Structure 1
Amino acid sequence: MASPGWGALFGREHGPVAVTLAAGVALHAVNVYLAATIMPTVVDDIGGSGLYAWATTVFMFASVLGSAAAAAVLGARGPRSGYRLAALLLAAGTIVCALAPTMLVLLIGRLVQGLGGGLLFALSYAMVRITLHEALWPRAMALVSAMWGVATLIGPALGGVFAQYGAWRGSFWGLLPFLLFFAFWGAMRLPGGKAGGSAPRIPWASVGLLGLSVLVISAASISSRIAVNVVGLLLAALLIAGWLRRERATTPRLIPATAFGPDARLRLVYLTMALLVVASTVEVYVPFFGQRLQGLGPLAAGYLGAVLAAGWTLGSVACSGMSHRSRSIVAAGPLLSLTGLVALFFAGPVHSGTVAAIAAVSAALLALGWGVGMAWPHLLTRVLQLAPDEDQDLAGSSVTTVQLTATAFGSALAGTVANVVGFSDTAGTGDLQSTARWMFALFALAPLAAVVTARYARRADPTAAGPRRG
């Protein structure tokens, strides 16, 4: 039986809530792409080129911390107050960035933005279960995940307009009214009060281990020295292993205890999600390849990278209503993403500005993004279905913890591959072609592994229709 249509989600009863949750993800995501677009102009204005990459590193580190605290904030403050706190934190960081006289102050603003944005991002996913009927979960998950695709179109355009005229601060000020609007009007659409019982504590040791792993691998990927990249990867892997060991043995946790039990389904779902996210992080270098290999201008190359996000959005929207075929869709998604990366291996390194060459790259990126997007809402819904009742808040926030961590690791791995192969500002065409070829080939291993994990998750499921629990 198909799930209810979009009209049910956007109707009078659920529409304001759905818009508020979608806005929570969109406000975080637009800020990500806007900041990436204006940073060259920021450095030209206030200096601090040596700290350029840290604007992203600090933000990603803080986002993981914010998302990890979401379950505790939701339990302590409830949906309305928790959402408002997150939006106001993001607004405060945005004001600091807009006023920043130096790069150091900007980094402080980015830290606060990351905390608020990561918390808002995680809360928006977690509150789908609280505020909407289960039949609407796949549609709602598709809607909130589609906001990344929307942000990829809006963020660069908004930042680019202000950067074009050297008024980069205006892009931050332009976000502020929307943040304040949803901090007050949007938050009022959500339930007040908080759940009964004591609020879950923040697992500071687990948060520290996970956040430190993100910080280490992100910082190491900036270096052009292979030894630094390798040491960073190994140290981050050890920190992740330590985090998982602690998650298994102690409470409170960042992911439900079910993921560590004899039933393998939930951990296989998490692993499939992480692998698909890692595969999508090749988009970081697509604009650069678009300019240097396909001969596109900065704006056109930026939107070439947005094709992947557009595919993710379209795949989520098109397949979210097919709950009766969710297992087949989850199995097919990694295969389509794998096909896209194989196509990129052949089309991406071609040094040509012809329409055919650009169309081939675009089609491959669309397939890669569509494969992730078609599986995504069903994977997220499955996490909520497999988690026990007492871990439902944790299940919702764990989705964003996994996604943000996988994004940080994937982006850092892409930088490591590029540095090892010979990527640099002065690299010739041959070096860039080699970088593209190696990157697309190695990252194809992620959806290939996801094909296996999705298949095993399906085999481990004894049911045919997917019950509400287990």
Structure 2
Amino acid sequence: MSTQEPTIVASQKAGWGELLDGRNAVYTIVLAGGVTLHAVNIFIVTTILPSVVGDIGGLEYYAWATTLFVIASILGAALSSRLLDRVGAGRAYAAATALFVAGALICATAPAFPLLLAGRFVQGLGGGLLLALAYAVVRLVYPETLWSRAIGLISAMWGVSTLIGPAAGGVFAELNIWRAAFWSLVPFSVVFGTVAIAVLPRESRDVAEPSPLPLPQLALLTASVVTVSAGSISANPLWNGAGLVIATLLAVLLIRVERGARTRLLPKGTLDTDGRLVALFATIALLVTGMQTEIFIPYFLQVLHGQSPLIAGYLAALMAMGWTLGSMLSAGRSDEAGIRAIRTGPIFVLAGLVVLLLSVPAPGSVGWQLTPICVGLLLAGLGIGIAWPHLVTNVFKETPMSEQGLAASSITTVQLYATAFGAAIAGLVANLGGISDPGGADGAASAALLLFGASLVAPALGLISVRRFAERRNQDTDGQELEPRQASRISTI
């Protein structure tokens, strides 16, 4: 793309304004818009689901509306690099949007809950594609000096969506017109898809011959997520544990198959225990896993601290807002400052979870006494937000040019997989802590204590993985690795 040639040797200091300058502004709107569409949809549907089951039934399948969406999103993310290789960025975005719209229409017209579940699966497939394509297209349309800022802006859309989604969903639920929530997504999606195919590159710059799909790995990945999700739905800790154990065994088998496969799901070297990519992906997975305590925050705030559902929901969103703030503050730092941000992220997450461990289980906090909980949520969100742009950027830098698209899809695949696993583990720990038996305030307090205590393990392990990444990076000679990569990037452009 000739429009990017002058920026290859651009100054090392690129500001936020460059994301909104000229053609970059259109790219920024499209990439941010796709993630926002996906995220707002998640929060809207979470809010209206009680109204849905009240109208068409299906309470016994309630959790599967989210489970199937997550599974489909993981599949969509895993398939995104192949789609991008085959049809280019513009058509890939159009295809993702078409799937998203089709899913919304199925949900909007569903006469029964099983058909709505089918719509959620189709929607999730499109949403996963949108999420993964955003990371993939960043490196195609921006110079490298803008990568971390663009990724930070994409991350920020989740925080924005926490303000829009629950409010919009609440309006539709209050008016008892839940079908309109799905219909409302259609015109925005159509406009978005039209703009995307008009402005984004229509040809891929990565590989001449796209590789076939890694079908065995995708099958094992799906089976693992289905198993852990099915186990997490049960109120019986034995079923929770069984689902987690079987899913872990499937994940181990997935790793073994991936190691020996010609067609891979992850970039080359990701499973090399002596490499840097494995440390980066491990950090992403651990930080995302540690964040899954947030799914119980609204419940704890209502039962233990007397907050209304609306207030509890928005207080819980402080973690997402912290992620947004951290990403915006951290993005755009130099390489060395970015490494420091990666090393700092788990410390903030760990500190936030410690504050929540000390404050959430103690019942009765109101008004200003909720301050420690708010601080803990913000700290945890800040931690992952500070590290995220640089984790993603360094994954790209550590991946061969021929596998950059695969790296982008892998980031989202690992993120969503860690979300599913983390949510299942959180459910298991909360059940063991007594959230349903004995239940009530006593059960909630016990569950919160055990949940936040157990959650400290993930960011603590994250501290180890980022240290290993930094040590391995320092051991290598930067010039010998970066110059060929930079030359390859310039020749590709």
With the shorter chain as reference, the TM-score category is over 0.9
Aligned match of 1:210: 221
- The residue aligned with 1:294 is 305
CA drift of 1:323 comes to 2.3
Query: Cα distance, 1:347 vs. partner?
Result: 0.7
Q: Does the residue aligned with 1:127 lie in a helix, a strand or coil?
A: helix
Residue 258 of structure 1 is matched in structure 2 by 269
1:426 Cα offset (Å): 7.2
Q: Give 1:394's aligned residue.
A: 406
Matched, 1:375 2:375: no
**1:251, CA displacement in angstroms?**
2.2
Matches within 5 A, 1:242-253: 242-253=253-264
Partner of 1:45: 55
1:245 offset after TM fit, Å? 1.1
Deviates more, 1:299-308 or 1:262-271: 262-271
Partner of 1:361: 373
**140, 144, 154: which one pairs with 1:134?**
144
In structure 2, which of residues 433, 447, 458 is the aligned counterpart of residue 446 of structure 1? 458
1:389 CA displacement: 1.0
Matched, 1:268 2:279: yes
Further displaced range: 218-227 or 421-430:
421-430
Within 5 Å, give how 1:15-26 maps onto structure 2. Answer: 15-26=25-36
| Structure 2 runs not aligned, ≥5 long | 1-10, 487-493
Match of 1:156 among 161, 166, 175: 166
Q: Which of 110, 128, 138 is residue 120 of structure 2 equivalent to?
A: 110
Aligned residue for 2:361, secondary structure, equals coil
Q: Please, which moves more after superposition, 370-379 or 174-183?
A: 174-183
Calculate percent identity across the aligned residue pairs: 43
- 2:490 corresponding residue in structure 1: none
Aligned to 2:86: 76
Task: Quote how far apart the aligned CAs of 1:252 are.
Answer: 1.4
Q: What's the CA shift string for 1:39-95, capped at 9, x where partnerless?
A: 111111111100001101111111111111011111111101011000110011011
- 1:327 and 2:335 correspond: no
Q: 2:75 aligns with which of 65, 70, 87?
A: 65
* CA distance in 2 between partners of 1:111 and 1:411 (Å): 19
Q: Which amino acid aligns with 1:138?
A: S
> Structure 2 residue aligned with 1:194, among 198, 204, 215?
204
CA contact (8 A) 2:433 2:448 kept: no
Amino acid corresponding to residue 392 of structure 2 in structure 1: L
**Matches of residues 423-442 of structure 1 in structure 2 within 5 Å?**
423-424=435-436, 427-442=439-454
- Aligned partners of 2:360 and 2:200: how far apart in 1? 45
Instruction: State the secondary structure of the residue aligned to 2:213.
Output: coil
Decide whether aligned partners of structure 1 residues 337 and 177 sit closer, same or farther in structure 2, where only a CA change above 3 A counts.
same
Contact 1:76/1:200 (8 A) holds in 2? no
Q: Following the alignment from structure 1 to structure 2, what is the Cα–Cα distance between the partners of residues 255 and 121?
A: 17
The question of 1:222 aligning with 2:246 is answered no
Aligned equivalents of 1:343 and 1:117: distance in 2? 34
Partner residue of 1:346? 358
Verify the 8 A CA contact 1:2 1:321 in the aligned structure 2. Answer: no
2:107 maps to a residue whose letter is C
After superposition, give the CA deviation of every residue in 1:259-317 in whole Å (9 maximum; x if it has no partner).
Answer: 13464210000000100001111110111111111111111100011000000000000
Give the 3 Å change call, closer, same or farther, for CA 333–142 of structure 1 in structure 2.
same
Please list the CA deviations of residues 341-398 of structure 1 after superposition, one character each: whole Å capped at 9, or x if unmatched. 0000001112124223311101100000000000000000000000001111101111
Post-superposition shift, 1:3?
3.9
**AA matched with 1:131:** V
TM-score under structure 1 normalisation? 0.97
* Match in the other structure for 2:489: none
Give the residue type in structure 1 aligned to 2:327: S
CA contact (8 A) 2:344 2:383 kept: yes
SS of 2:202's equivalent in the other structure is: coil
SS in 1 for 2:448: helix
Using a 3 Å threshold, how does the CA distance of structure 1 residues 464 and 148 change in structure 2: closer, same or farther? farther
Structure 1 SS opposite 2:270? helix
Q: Could you tell me how far apart the structure 2 residues matched to 1:77 and 1:437 are? A: 50
- The answer to whether structure 1 residue 165 and structure 2 residue 139 are counterparts is no
1:33 aligns with 2:49: no
Distance 2:189 2:27 in 1: 16
**2:157, 2:225 → 1: CA distance?**
24
Q: Secondary structure at the match of 1:259?
A: coil
Match of 1:311 in 2: 322
Which structure 1 residue ranges, 5 or more long, are not aligned?
none
- Contact kept? 1:65, 1:118, Cα under 8 Å: yes
Given that 1:138 and 1:323 are in contact with CA atoms closer than 8 Å, whether structure 2 keeps it comes out as no
Q: Offset of 1:155 from its aligned partner?
A: 1.0
User: Counterpart amino acid of 2:411?
Assistant: V
Pairing partner for 1:458 from 458, 470, 473? 470
Distance 1:318 1:412 in 2: 31
Report if aligned partners of 2:84, 2:405 keep a CA contact under 8 Å in 1. yes
What amino acid sits opposite 1:172 in the alignment? F
Kept in 1: contact 2:12–2:145 (CA 8 A): no
Separation of aligned partners in 2, 1:152 and 1:208: 32
Q: Is the 8 A contact 2:303 2:440 kept in 1?
A: no
Q: Are 1:162 and 1:168, in contact at CA under 8 Å, matched by a contact in 2?
A: yes
The letter of the residue matching 2:149 is R
CA contact 1:349–1:436 (8 Å) conserved in 2: yes
> How far off its partner does 1:210 sit?
0.8
Partner amino acid for 1:390? S
Distance 2:14 2:330 in 1: 13
Q: CA deviation at 1:2?
A: 6.1
Q: Which amino acid aligns with 2:90?
A: R
C-alpha distance after superposition, 1:311-350 (max 9, x if no partner)? 0000000011212401111111100110000000001112
Partner residue in 1 for 2:5:
none
Query: Contact 1:315–1:370 at 8 Å: present in 2 too?
Result: yes
Q: Give the whole-Å Cα distance in 2 for the aligned partners of 1:391 and 1:447.
A: 29
Q: Distance in 2 between matches of 1:96 and 1:150?
A: 26
Shift of 1:463: 5.3
Cα distance in 2 between the residues matched to 1:433 and 1:335: 25
Structure 1 residues 287 and 262: alpha-carbon distance in aligned structure 2, compared to 1, 3 A threshold: closer
Q: Distance in 1 between matches of 2:13 and 2:72?
A: 36
